[in-house]
Amino acid sequence: MINRKFVNSTSTAQLRATGLCQSVTRVSRWVAVAAAILVANYSSAETTDTLVAEPAKTTTCYLDGLDEQFQCGKITVPENPKQVDGKQIDIHFAILPAIKNTHPDEALLAISGGPGQSAIENAAGFNRMLTKVRQQRDILLIDQRGTGQSNLLSCDDENMSVLSINDSELDTVAMTEACLASIDADVTQYGSNNAVKDFEAVRQFLGYQKLHLYGISYGSRMAQLYMRRYPEALATVTLDGVVPMQQSLVAIGSSIERGLNVLWRDCQSNSECQQHFPDLVNNYNTVDQLLATAPISQQVRDPRTNELAEFMLTRGKFTGAIRMAMYMPNIRALIPHAIHQAAQGNYQPILGIYTLTADSTDIALGMHSSVVCGEDIHRITEQMRKDAKESYIAGSMLDGLVKTCEGWPIPPEDDSFGQPIDSDIPTLLLSGELDPATPPNWGAMAQEKLTKSKHFIAPYATHGVAYQSCGNDLIAQLVDQGSLKDINGDCLQKDVRRSFYLNANTVEALPTVNTPNAIQTTAPANTAADKE
Amino acid sequence: MKMIFTMVRKELIDAARDKRSVMAGLYYAIGTPLIMCGLFMVLIGQLSSPEDLNIHIKNANNAPDLVRYLSNNGINHADDEQANKITLTISDDYAANMAKAKQAEVLLVADNSDEKLQKSINRLERQLQAYSSEMGSIRLIARGINPSITQPIKINVQDKATADSKGGMILGLAIFTMMYSVFISGMNLAIDTSAGERERNSLALLLSHPMSTRQLVLGKIIAVTCFALLGLVLILLVSKVAYPFVPWQQIGFTVNISQDFMGLMLLVGIPVALMAATLQLYVSFMAKTFKEAQSYLTMVLFVPLALSMAASYNIAPDVLQWLPVSGQQQALMDFIKGRDIPMMQLIVSSVATLIIAVALAVGLEKSLKSEKVVFGL
């Protein structure tokens, strides 16, 4: 489900592209996945144990993208909590130590999204976003079971060419079954409830009296489960890009449609974008319909190697690329141009966006399936089926997930799983108006029984408000004060929107030129714009 | 033994009577950490870029997206005097050049020699650079190229510094002030009890008592040493309390005066204090007058000062690890940085310190048998 991004602004030469574009993961490799919810962050974690510790609980380690020394460790837990003597798995964790540890018995536990992202691999992003919290408290990152170093359940297929593959012809059920067969684990044990137990076990192992939680995307579900199961261990909670307990992840399909509509609205209400791309929605539909008839195959240069390659553009890849681009404000700004170009037969921008999102493999698909198939797939409602009929994106997502779960049988969680969380722990909820995955009304839904909570909607943020706005300052304030009393979301209103790309080069208004295509430059947003 | 004890008591009572002198000696121990902390507080405040950095942006309308990007990173336009110190001018053809993928120019005007601005200027440059490379990446994406190819090398850095060692520079300075307090705190008493006593003509009287010169010398040394150690204890206590008040975390580390460190410092300080006491007494007795003693001592104290300073800035050759004062100081610094204490060096330098102390004490004893010294002729 979800994702989050991390942007490395410290190193100037650092291309943000890597940071900015996170990945989505084989969007098209598997319809199912594309469909899936997720998303991500990049980075490949690598921890180096430099000390062979004595009975110490942690050892010194380095994490990808950061030059400091951190503390890493692991605990061993039974894979199946009901069979304590059965198979054991390691749960790895990393501590980013507080700069000045004024609260040694507290830590902030940051929980990744996905489902299937590794928290430790995303340490650099968390470290940057939580700088202020880390001034006085440790940041704790745990690789949830099935992700990262904690008995990773991945379903990588190295042989698949992301460019030439026709994702609509993939046999999802067979691929899922093949993956299941290749995994040596009881995949029914990798749901969120077991994972929360692991988290609590890590807390006790490390001796923290209280945790502050930050859950992004699917991580917000984990945070809510933590609130339900171990409220006494929590001081404050922040849910970012909120997935309410009542909501099935499958509903993300219609959120994507909403995200697109918000994008159309944004472009129309912006005079520059409106003038350059007056037919944006039509353009999108044209390409979408064209691809619905048949995929387009082209000779292209491989975006990375520059070798000649065949690029098969399918409807799934096209919508998948647009969808992933909507997660990142800076790439989102390129969407109107990319659609406009595609409508004119130039698929290079779409190829560029697709390649960013397709070649990352940072979601543990096996773990992703274990979560979704046990917690979400049985909660598909009539409304979702209706949406799925009307929308290709929602439809293909639902279809893909259903097929995946046919090959990945997990006993469903019972109804109590989907009850809203009833709690008086101070809880901050953050939603982005532009979020293509977890729209603001999801945040409101999660807030239903949270008696001490505040929900802020950042008007210019997508998924992962704390990464894109002053949301992280609000978290620092909440952690510091332990209460929501003085927190107001005014700073989120600051206009930080990114301008749309008007051609392949610029976001700034073009000087008026008399090309045949240029529509009259005077048209303000409220005349021609509204008609489209 | 009893005689020595009586002697020490006499000296301490004497010293305590002159309250101004006591204060002058201990003033350093109390004042230095406070002044240092105050300075660092101001310095950290000045050197770190304010969270919300205000600069003057000219022609902001030429690049609204860039201006909003900067603003999202805490860099805003303002018109007051402080903001005017950094000016960012966006060229008139910015948008036209951007549209054609030519280099669009912005002009950054600021005084880079102004320490208070340096961080802010760097920060602004970094943000502009980040914006620029983000845009470069997106231009590549728009052309169907994966932007990661522009970074052929991924540089992974593994910094061996620990949280403690990052504060090492500051702690080196702190250790230096502590070491120096050993010398400063007993100085007034040393002069008073030697050159002063002679000038008051009570030295001869003292010597006429039924006690050996050795006892007299030992008594004085112990009294001065007590004062030096009192100064050390004071500076340790004040440091322990004062240093945590400085917002070190703003510059990325902590400075923690631990109890272990305080214990070690005190232990290491004892031989140094003994040496300081004998040295000061010796020089004072050699001087003809009170005034002269003051002058000589100031000069002589430059030697341990230089040794200590050299060690704390790490500018010195390795031989310093073996010398008195600097050797102990290096060992203390290694301890505080979490490294192994160089035991060999610490022992050698401490023993050397004691040898010097004993040699000076013997010299003192001898010289006090000469009338020249006793009467200051």
> pLDDT for A464-519, tens place per residue?
899 988 888 999 999 999 888 888 888 888 888 888 999 888 888 876 654 444 44
Per-residue model confidence (pLDDT) at position B286: 83
Chain B contacts in chain A segment 120-159 (CB below 8 A): 135-136
The answer to whether B57 touches B67, Cβ cutoff 8 Å, is: yes
A9 — contact with chain B (CB < 8 Å)? Answer: yes
Confidence band (pLDDT; 50, 70, 90) for A528? very low
- Residue A145 exposed, middle or buried by CB count within 10 Å (0-12, 13-18, 19+): buried
Which A residues in the span 177-216 are in contact with B, Cβ-Cβ below 8 Å? none
* Residues A269-306 pLDDT 10s: 988 888 889 989 999 999 999 988 988 998 999 888 89
- All residues of chain B having their beta carbon less than 8 Å from the beta carbon of residue A18 are 147-148, 151
A&B contacts, CB < 8 Å: 164
Token representation of residue A17? 């592209």
Question: Can you read off the two tokens belonging to residue A409?
Answer: 């049988």
Give the pairing of strands A210-216 and A308-313.
unpaired
- Classified as helix, coil or strand, A416 is helix
> How close, in Å, is residue A100 to chain B by CA atoms?
6
pLDDT single digits (tens) A332-386: 999 999 999 999 989 999 999 998 877 655 788 889 889 999 998 888 888 888 8
Per-residue pLDDT, A360: 59
The answer to whether residue B222 is domain-embedded is yes
Q: Which of A461, A483, A505 is the last residue of a domain?
A: A483
Alpha-carbon gap: B76 to the closest alpha carbon of chain A (Å): 11
Query: In this predicted model, which residue has the larger pLDDT, A141 or A525?
Result: A141
Q: Which of A12, A15, A496 minimises the CB distance to B147?
A: A15
The verdict on residue B156 lying in a domain is no
Q: Are residues B97 and B190 in the same domain?
A: no
Residue A4: Cβ within 10 Å count: 30
Count of structural domains, chain B: 2
The CATH number of whichever domain residue A155 belongs to comes to: 3.40.50.1820
Copy the structure tokens of residue B178. 């502590």
Look at A287-296, A307-316, A448-457, B296-305 and tell me which has the smallest mean pLDDT. Answer: B296-305
Confidence of residue B251 (pLDDT cuts 50, 70, 90): confident
CA-nearest of A127, A440, A132, A395 to A258 is A440
Are residue A59 and residue A140 in the same domain, yes or no?
Answer: yes
Q: What is the pLDDT of residues A209-247, one digit of tens each?
A: 999 999 999 999 999 999 999 999 999 999 999 999 998
pLDDT at A512: 64
- Is the domain of B61 the same as that of B203? no
Give B321 or A310, the one with higher predicted confidence.
Answer: A310
Q: Is the domain of B33 the same as that of B59?
A: no
For residues A193 and A52, membership in a common domain is answered with yes
The band of A17, judged by pLDDT with boundaries at 50, 70 and 90, is very low
Mean pLDDT of all residues in B251-273: 85
Largest CA distance in chain B: 102
Which amino acid, one-letter code, is at A395?
Answer: G
CA B101 to chain centre: 52
Rounded to an integer, what distance in angstroms lies between the CA atom of residue A162 and that of residue A321? 12
Is the same domain home to B146 and B177?
no
A444 and A515: one domain? no
Q: Which residue among B124, B150, B176 closes a domain?
A: B150
Identify the residue with better confidence: A467 or B287.
Answer: A467
In A12-83, DSSP assigns E strands to 59-61, 70-78
Buried b (16+ CB within 10 A) or exposed e, A372-384: bbbbbbbbbeeeb
Question: What residues of B are in contact with residue A303 (Cβ under 8 Å)?
Answer: 144-146
Residues of chain A contacting residue B161, judged by C-beta atoms under 8 Å apart: 68-69
Q: What percent of chain A has pLDDT over 70?
A: 84
Most confident by average pLDDT, A49-63, B54-68, B338-352: B54-68
Q: Which residue has the higher pLDDT, A123 or A21?
A: A123
Query: Is A397 contained in some domain?
Result: no
Q: What is the pLDDT of residue A527?
A: 37
Residue A147 falls within a domain, yes or no?
A: yes
**Residue A510 and residue B73: Cβ atoms within 8 Å?**
no
Map A293-347 to HEC letters. HCCEEEEEECCCCCCEEEEEECHHHHHHHHHHHCCCHHHHCCHHHHHHHHHCCCC
The answer to whether residue A338 neighbours chain B at the CB level (below 8 Å) is yes
In a domain, residue B60? The reply is: yes
Residues A151-175 have pLDDT tens digits of 888 877 666 678 888 887 778 888 8
Q: Are residues B40 and B57 in the same domain?
A: no
Q: Say if A270 falls within a structural domain.
A: no
Burial of A186 (0-12, 13-18, 19+ CB in 10 A): middle
CA distances from A75 to A85, A123, A140 (A): 15, 19, 14
Q: Residue B148: name the closest of A501, A356, A162 by CA.
A: A356
Give A-chain residues touching B151 at CB under 8 angstroms.
Answer: 13-15, 18
Q: What pLDDT is attached to residue B297?
A: 86
Give the Cα separation of A83 and A89 in Å (integer): 12
Q: How far apart are CA B26 and CA B20, in angstroms?
A: 10
Q: What is the mean pLDDT of residues B28-41?
A: 87
Do B242 and B311 reside in the same domain of the chain? yes
Q: Are residues B110 and B12 in the same domain?
A: no
Q: Which of A20, A62, A501 sits opposite B142 (nearest CB)?
A: A501
- Could you list the residue range(s) of the whole structural domain that residue A506 is in? 275-358+495-531
Residue range A246-270: mean pLDDT, rounded:
89
- What pLDDT shows up at residue A51? 38
A216 and A130 housed in the same domain: yes
State which of B116, B150, B184 marks the end of a domain. B150
Tell whether B239 and B127 lie within a shared domain.
Answer: no
Query: Which of A222-226, A485-489, B255-259, B261-265 is the most confident on average?
Result: A222-226
Tell me, what's the pLDDT at A126? Answer: 93
User: Within a domain: residue B73?
Assistant: yes
Which of B93, B115, B150 lies at the terminal end of a domain, its last residue? B150
Identify whether residues B144 and B234 lie together within a single domain.
no
Nearest to A508 among B98, B143, B149 (CB): B98
Q: What is the pLDDT of residue B49?
A: 64
Q: Which pLDDT score, from 0 to 100, does residue B365 have? A: 86
Q: What is the pLDDT of residue B376?
A: 67
To test the contact with chain A by mutation, choose from B131, B138, B148, B253 the residue with the greatest count of A C-beta atoms within 10 A, namely B138
Q: How many whole angstroms separate alpha carbon A9 and alpha carbon A12?
A: 6
Pull the structure tokens for residue A276: 């350059």
Encode pLDDT of B313-346 as tens digits. 666 677 777 888 888 888 888 887 777 788 888 8
| A23/A53 same-domain check | yes
- What pLDDT was estimated at residue A6? 30
Span B354-375, average pLDDT: 84
CB within 8 Å: A97 and B99: no
How many structural domains does chain A have?
2
Residues A229 and A90 in one domain: yes
pLDDT number for residue A427: 92
Whether residue A348 is found in the same domain as residue A429: no
pLDDT value, residue A513: 53
Residue A383 lies in a domain: no
Residue A457 included in any domain: yes
Average pLDDT, rounded, for chain A: 81
Q: Say which residues have a Cβ less than 8 Å from residue A516's Cβ, sequence separation at least 6.
A: none
pLDDT level of residue A48 (50, 70, 90 thresholds): very low
What is the pLDDT, as a whole number, of residue B314? 63
Q: Which residues in chain A are contacts of B253 at CB distance < 8 A?
A: 99
Residues A187, A220 share a domain:
yes
Q: Which of residues 236-295 of B touch A (CB under 8 A)?
A: 248-250, 252-254
Same domain, B104 and B227: no
Residues 119-178 of B with CB under 8 A from A: 125-127, 129-130, 133-151, 156-163
**What ipTM is given for this predicted complex?**
0.82
- Tell me the chain A residues in contact with residue B135 when contact means C-beta distances shorter than 8 Å: 507
**pLDDT interval class at A14 (50, 70, 90):** very low
CA distances (Å), B104 to each of A11, A306, A329, A497, B59, in order? 21, 28, 22, 21, 13
pLDDT of residue A46 exceeding 60? no
Mean pLDDT over the full length of chain B: 84
Residue B112 shares a structural domain with residue B179? no
Give the whole-angstrom CA distance, residue B260 versus residue B70. 46
- Pick from A435, A531, A512: which is nearest to A272 by CA? A512
Q: How far is A517 from chain B (nearest CA, A)?
A: 16
Asked whether residue B298 is assigned to any structural domain, the reply reads: yes
Whether A295 maps to a domain, the answer reads: yes
Alpha-carbon gap: A454 to the closest alpha carbon of chain B (Å): 23
Chain-chain contact of A352 with B98 (C-beta, under 8 angstroms): no
Ranges A13-22, A66-75, A242-251, A321-330: which has the least confidence = A13-22
pLDDT at A181: 84
- Residues of B within 8 A of A337 (CB-CB) are 142
DSSP B201-252: THHHHHHTSSS-HHHHHHHHHHHHHHHHHHHHHHHHHHHHHHGGGS-GGGGT
In the predicted structure, residue A525 carries a pLDDT above the cut 70: no
Which residues 499-518 of A are in CB contact (within 8 Å) with B? Answer: 499, 501-511
CB contact (8 A) between residue A349 and residue B144:
yes
Tell me if A508 and B68 make a contact (CB, 8 A cut-off): no
The reply to whether residue B146 touches residue A303, judged by beta carbons under 8 angstroms, is: yes
- Same domain? For A505 and A431 the reply is no
| Sequence letter at residue B223 | A
Taking an 8 Å cut-off on Cβ atoms, the answer to whether B134 and A13 are in contact is no
Contact residues for B12 (Cβ-Cβ < 8 A; gap 6+): B223, B226
Question: Are B34 and B66 in a shared domain?
Answer: no
Per-residue model confidence (pLDDT) at position A31: 33
Give the domain extent around B297.
Answer: 2-44+162-375
The whole-model pTM stands at 0.79
> Do residues A189 and A166 share a domain?
yes
Same domain, A499 and A436: no
Q: Do residue B146 and residue A352 have CB atoms under 8 angstroms apart?
A: yes
Does residue A392 sit within a domain? Answer: no
Asked if residue B155 belongs to a domain, the reply is no
A171 and A42 part of one domain: yes
Residue A9 to residue B70: CA distance in whole angstroms: 12
